[in-house]
Amino acid sequence: MMVFGAISSLKPDDPESWSEKIFLTFDVDWAHDDVVMDTVNLLEAADVPATWFVTHDTPVLARLRQNPNFELGIHPNFNWLLAGDDRNGRDPKEVIGRMMDLVPEAKCVRSHSMTQSSGLLDVFASAGLTHDVNHFIPASVGAEIRPWALWNGMTRVPYFWEDDLACIYESQGKPEPSVMDAARTGKGVKVFDFHPIHIFLNTEDLRRYERTRQEHQNPQSLRAQRHQGYGARSQLQELLGELKSGDANGATR
């Protein structure tokens, strides 16, 4: 039986808090409320913990806060700042400050595009964030992954599977293990990263995501573009115990 946990519960010096556990994380990425709620419904049906990395203000945040299984983290976007555009803030501290105003209870952070540096980590710590989830180590490496303490008191939590990166590796002829293979054979902490848009689309190839970009805020139209085979939604459902490994019959649920 798989045991699920929330990122903020991990303690580097307490293996029982993370060893062989499954941690589900979700990058909201400005998805439409109905797209996010589609993922929420899957998780609530399975009654499992999850960590949500929030990108924007939405009524769905109140809904997420109602579920004691869920915790909210932040998903700051530094890409504009790196391009010389201050629309999200004039410096990293302001970018993080705006996100913390939105999610003041946040303890966990994963940057959009995994943007990180020693300076950013210190900004995170100064804002009261305790767990950084910006370090990706592919499951195919076969490493025994564990969290560790950083110099500033934060805990770094590596993750080893991400839905869109799995599609990229697949397109390069270098497929990553399926989520079930990763969950069963991975050693140490097992952190998965999903995106509501890919769950909604059941993405199996990023070309599906790209060609539907103009419809991402139109769930009714987007639903008709959902992949009917084995994709990101199928893999999440497997982890949640709704599907037998390798069975794609639940892809259209």
CATH number at residue 81: 3.20.20.370
Contact 39, 32 (CB under 8 A): no
Q: What does the pLDDT look like over 175-188, one tens digit per residue?
A: 999 999 999 988 89
The Cα–Cα gap between 5 and 3 comes to: 7
Number of domains in the chain: 1
Q: What is the pLDDT of residue 242?
A: 62
Using a pLDDT cut of 90, give the percent of the chain over it.
92
Is the pLDDT assigned to residue 250 strictly greater than 70?
A: no
Q: How far is CA 206 from CA 121, 124, 166, 212, in A?
A: 30, 31, 10, 10
Q: What is the mean pLDDT of residues 107-134?
A: 99
Is the pLDDT assigned to residue 253 strictly greater than 80?
A: no
Give the confidence band of 246 by pLDDT, cuts at 50, 70, 90.
Answer: very low
Q: What is the pLDDT of residue 20?
A: 87
Contact 186, 22 (CB under 8 A): no
Is the pLDDT assigned to residue 110 strictly greater than 80?
A: yes
pTM of the model: 0.94
Q: What is the pLDDT of residue 251?
A: 45
Interhelix angle 163-171/232-239, rounded to 10 degrees, is 130
Is the pLDDT assigned to residue 213 strictly greater than 60?
A: yes
Residue whose C-alpha is closest to residue 6's, from 40, 46, 75, 52: 52
Q: What does the pLDDT look like over 3-54, one tens digit per residue?
A: 999 999 999 999 999 998 999 999 999 999 999 999 999 999 999 999 999 9
Q: What is the pLDDT of residue 22?
A: 96
Token pair recorded at residue 99: 């996100």
Q: What does the pLDDT look like over 37-48, one tens digit per residue?
A: 999 999 999 999
Q: What does the pLDDT look like over 58-105, one tens digit per residue?
A: 999 999 999 999 999 999 999 999 999 999 999 999 999 999 999 999
Domain range for 55: 4-252
Q: What does the pLDDT look like over 144-172, one tens digit per residue?
A: 999 999 999 999 999 999 999 999 999 99
Give the confidence band of 249 by pLDDT, cuts at 50, 70, 90.
Answer: very low
Q: What is the pLDDT of residue 1?
A: 74
